[in-house]
Chains A and B, each alone.
Chain A
Amino acid sequence: MDILVSMKQVPDTQKVKIDPERGTLIRKGVPAIANPFDESALEVALDLKERLGGTVTVITMGIPDAECLLRDALTLGADRAVLLTDRDFAGADTLATSYALSMAIRALGGFDLLLFGKQAIDGDTAQVGPETACHLGMPVITFVSSIVSAGNGGVVVERMIEGGLEVMRSDFPVLLTIVKAPRRLRIPTLDGIIASLNVPVRRMGASDIGAQASLCGLKGSPTRVKKVFTPAVHSKIRFFEGSAEEKARGFAELLREKGIAR
């Protein structure tokens, strides 16, 4: 089984700070991390490879520095790594990003299973996975929480829906988006690190994957960011004071006031 994992380098949103005057993000000094959902997807892929054989290819679109994300994946047991990097890709929204990824996936060819994190923690759109599947004309199963079985030309998975789970099946090739897995991403072994040193990271630009420049990056993005601002500051908190009974009474009164209790 040949698996592709799509990953993204994101700023650690816990450490992002805001310029209070301009209302813009201060990215300087904010560490770049692997998107946590993509790490779950990678762990799922490595686990499947261990149990069923096959290969794992990791791909990312980003600045040349994003190579370190791919290098890390190689130390953990990924077989191939592809960095999509090109000035033409800059400023892409989800439509242009998914277009470029789909063209690269077509150019590389031959995957049974495509794994994406359910969303990236910087944009939180959850759109790039399904949009990539749509460009490729293949089925997508979103919010997958576990792989029940894989092989024999298809996969059975559980996905999280409101108030429960769905068990779904698809033939290969299929694209899955993965929610945070119970298992954390493995840590590299010394052997893994040494073995990865000989593996090159393949760089590809728009022309290498046959993508039309007019459909990539900002040019290929139908959406525009008109304004960025910080959320309004929260008004002051009111504490319910007194004994436990008095606090409870204050809370109960609030519930009645809001029509939540009689």
Chain B
Amino acid sequence: MSPRDIWVFVERRNGRAHPVSFELLSKANALKGELGGDLVALFVGEVGPVLKEECEAYGADEVLWISAGGAMPAPDSCEIMADLVARTARERAPSVLLAGATVFGRTFMPLVAVRLRTGLTADCTELAVDAERKLLLQTRPAFGGNILATIVCPDTKPQMATVRPHVFRMEKVKEPKAARLETALFDASPMRVAELLETIVETEEAGVAESDVVVSGGRGLGKPEGFELLATLARKLGGVVGASRGAVDLGWIRASHQVGQTGNTVNPKLYVACGISGAIQHVTGMKGSEVIVAINEDPDAPIFQIADYGIIGDLYEVIPRILEELGDGGRG
């Protein structure tokens, strides 16, 4: 433990670490040399040997878990977790604190930043280091993705940032070393928090924001049944179905599938845009995808300006043939 350490908050879901946490550990491990300090995987609640080993595989020098002493009044409360993390950070003074820009991370991190009176940069797409000043260079899109801004937090610590899932690669270290296991003990502060009554799972699959493959449809599908075809392709590729605002507005598919500025932002390995013209609001939500394939009848559709691969044609002719071509060879 030293005041220069880099902390990555590991978000847990159903006992397992969210993949974005390993992506962040991988990136932080790459920046560690220039930034100095140790890489710490931070948890609220006890960490078992399997999870510890996973963190070691991605380069963690230390696994630090915060124990809230007695029973946690609301174990998933962002407020209580933020309180515990802020108190631990005050004691141990890390130089950097990173978390995934998930629904949880985007709520929890602002609550930590205010408690520590420090800066927080949302949804970074690149992290680098100003080695001389030991500053984290945090780059993020703004103005609907029209510009990128590099943000620094020069005078307060920790320098805090959130990063979306899939922005960084998970990279295991060649020779993992045993990480130190540390515990910080606090009693949870009494506070008024919102109470979770019920979780309604709409899909057993990953949400559109988290899937490796997204097959999206727009008004160009012409009819709501088009989404059934897209769902077949998505299943075959181990992915999920997305949609443009236009298709959601027509009532063809639920809003939770919407990709774009007023919907989900996605960064999958593969994004297939079917019958989507490519309005800037849609593009903002998906242009971080690793590979973009557009299928559209209109050769002048703006989506072709940002796609890596294009098919000009009728998706009702092309997609069934893609399914035939894949046979049983998909992931699903």
Contact = CB atoms under 8 A, between A and B. Distances in A.
Contacts of A223: 119-121, 151-153
A190 to B, nearest CB: 29
A95 B113 contact: yes
A249 interface: yes
Interface in B89-104: 102-103
Interface string B212-226: 110000000000000
A161 B220 CA distance: 28
Interface in A126-170: 126-127, 129-131, 133-135, 137-143, 145, 156, 158-170
Contacts of B281: 14
Interface stretch (A46-54, A80-88, A198-206, A227-235): A227-235
Chain A interface size range: 35 or more
Contacts of B203: 163-164
Contact of A124 (B123, B151, B321): B123
B54 to A, nearest CB: 20
Interface stretch (A60-68, A70-78, A106-114, A236-244): A236-244
Given A124-B142, A231-B141, A247 B311 contact: yes
A240 to B, nearest CB: 5
Interface in B281-332: 281, 291, 293, 304-314, 317-319, 321-322, 324-326, 329-331
B130 to A, nearest CB: 8
A169 B199 contact: no
B145 to A, nearest CB: 7
A161 B193 CA distance: 18
Instruction: Name the residue in A225, A252, A261 with the highest tally of chain B Cβ atoms < 10 Å from its Cβ.
Output: A261
Contact of B313 (A125, A224, A244): A244
A227 to B, nearest CB: 4
A29 interface: no
B12 interface: no
Given A95-B119, A169-B197, A261 B148 contact: no
B235 interface: no
A240 B317 contact: no
Contact of A127 (B122, B201, B263, B329): B122
Contacts of B191: 137
B145 A180 contact: no
A158 B321 CA distance: 41
Interface of A: 11, 13-14, 16, 18, 23-25, 36-37, 93-95, 98, 121-127, 129-131, 133-135, 137-143, 145, 156, 158-171, 174, 179-180, 182, 221-231, 234-235, 237-240, 244-245, 247-252, 254-256, 258, 260-262
Top 9 nearest A-B pairs by Cβ distance?
A13-B144, A248-B321, A222-B119, A162-B207, A223-B119, A163-B207, A134-B114, A130-B110, A252-B325
